[in-house]
């Protein structure tokens, strides 16, 4: 059995319908599977007769071409998912990935903006223009609600409950959650709506909150682009992205004394261990404060 088109199609449907993965996650899994397919073809192997030794050889080749441990771990996860599907669907009896070890990855703390950096970034936005006010509203929502950029671009008018102070968000696996929204973010959205009401909206996008100049939902790439632009204008040297605002949201809440379970719910994390990275960040922040400001550490 090779990685035939009909099997890949069934696997794609399995990820979509049974695992409820997002289109981006499915594309990532299939891209990783392409790497395995190339290896099998070069080694004259099929998916059915591959062994643990073969898979370890495949992983070694990934390292040889310079793929880092974090990416290798993701690829292994994708391969394990594929073979789990093959066993579940009766294509194979035994799973050769069962004993395949994932590389240990050191804790990498995400980039976080300070309150001052966030204010500096917001200050360079010209919100007298349609694009500027839209971008200001987008950044306020990212920061005040801790949304993923994929969640933000799909926000609809029907998801806004301003009187109650909440928005409804559809996260990974089509799971919905209610997230509090700040008065500042509500105010910026209302200012943006003044411009949006004058736009020509393409059919099918009438309920979409944040629009591009073409009258369709704004793309994630566009949000990445203007964040980079504003960061440069504000003199921020850190490498930031839309996700940086989500990290900053969680970190600032934790520093302010918020309960980690509450942060987990607002971020839409399925597991508390995912949220706990911010406790590491908080400890690292405290450590840096002590190193920089404690008199015992200021001696020459």
278 is catalytic: yes
Is 130 among the catalytic positions? no
Confirm if 55 and 100 have CB atoms less than 8 A apart. Answer: yes
**Paired residues of 296 in beta bridges:** none
Can you name the residues that pair with 156 across neighbouring β-strands?
208
Residue 79's CB is within 10 A of a number of other CB atoms, namely: 23
Main-chain dihedrals φ then ψ at residue 102, nearest 5 degrees: -90, 135
Q: Which two tokens stand for residue 160?
A: 């806004």
Q: Which of 148, 196, 247, 252 is catalytic?
A: 148
57 sits in which H/E element: helix 52-64
Contacting residues for 170 by C-beta, under 8 A, at least 6 apart: 151, 154, 159, 176
Annotated active-site residue in 12, 172, 202, 228: 172
Would you give the end-to-end CA distance of the chain in angstroms? 68
Exactly one of 74, 80, 202, 243 is catalytic; which is it? 243
Report the C-alpha gap between 256 and 252 in whole angstroms: 6
Sheet holding 176-180, edge to edge: 160-161, 166-170, 176-180
Q: In the annotation, is 192 catalytic?
A: no
Q: Which of 134, 247, 252, 269 is catalytic?
A: 269
Catalytic residue, candidates 14, 83, 143, 278:
278
Is 283 one of the catalytic residues?
A: no
> Which residues, listed in sequence order, are joined to residue 177 by a DSSP beta bridge?
169
CB atoms within 10 A of CB 120: 17
**CB burial of residue 220 (10 Å; 0-12, 13-18, 19+):** middle
Catalytic entry in 196, 246, 247, 252:
246
Give, in degrees to the nearest 5, the angle at Cα 120 between 118 and 123. 110
Q: Write out the catalytic residue numbers.
A: 148, 172, 243, 246, 269, 278
């Amino acid at each position: 059995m090779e990685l035939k088109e009909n099997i890949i199609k069934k696997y794609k449907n399995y990820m979509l319908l049974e695992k409820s993965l997002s289109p981006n996650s499915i594309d990532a899994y299939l891209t990783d599977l392409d790497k395995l397919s190339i290896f099998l073809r070069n080694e004259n192997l099929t998916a059915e007769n591959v062994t643990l030794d073969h898979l370890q050889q495949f992983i070694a080749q990934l390292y040889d071409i310079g793929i880092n441990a974090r990416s290798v771990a993701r690829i292994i996860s994708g391969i394990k998912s594929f073979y789990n599907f093959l066993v579940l669907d009766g294509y194979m009896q035994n799973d050769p990935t069962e004993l395949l070890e994932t590389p240990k990855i050191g804790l990498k703390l995400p980039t976080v903006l300070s309150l001052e950096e966030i204010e500096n970034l917001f200050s360079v936005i010209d919100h007298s223009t349609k694009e500027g006010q839209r971008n200001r509203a987008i950044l306020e929502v990212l920061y005040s609600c801790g949304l993923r950029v994929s969640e933000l671009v799909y926000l609809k008018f029907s998801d806004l409950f301003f009187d109650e102070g909440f928005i409804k968000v559809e996260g990974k696996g089509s799971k919905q959650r209610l997230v509090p929204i700040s008065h500042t973010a509500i105010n910026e959205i209302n200012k943006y709506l003044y411009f949006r009401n004058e736009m020509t909206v393409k059919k099918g996008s009438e309920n979409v909150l944040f629009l591009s100049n073409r009258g369709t939902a704004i793309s994630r790439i566009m949000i990445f682009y203007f964040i980079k632009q504003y960061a440069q204008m504000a003199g921020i040297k850190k490498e930031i992205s839309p996700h940086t605002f989500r990290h900053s949201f969680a970190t600032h809440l934790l520093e302010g004394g918020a309960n980690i379970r509450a942060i987990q719910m607002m971020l839409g994390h399925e597991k508390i261990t995912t949220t706990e990275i911010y406790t590491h960040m908080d400890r690292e922040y405290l450590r840096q404060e002590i190193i920089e400001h404690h008199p015992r550490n200021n001696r020459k």
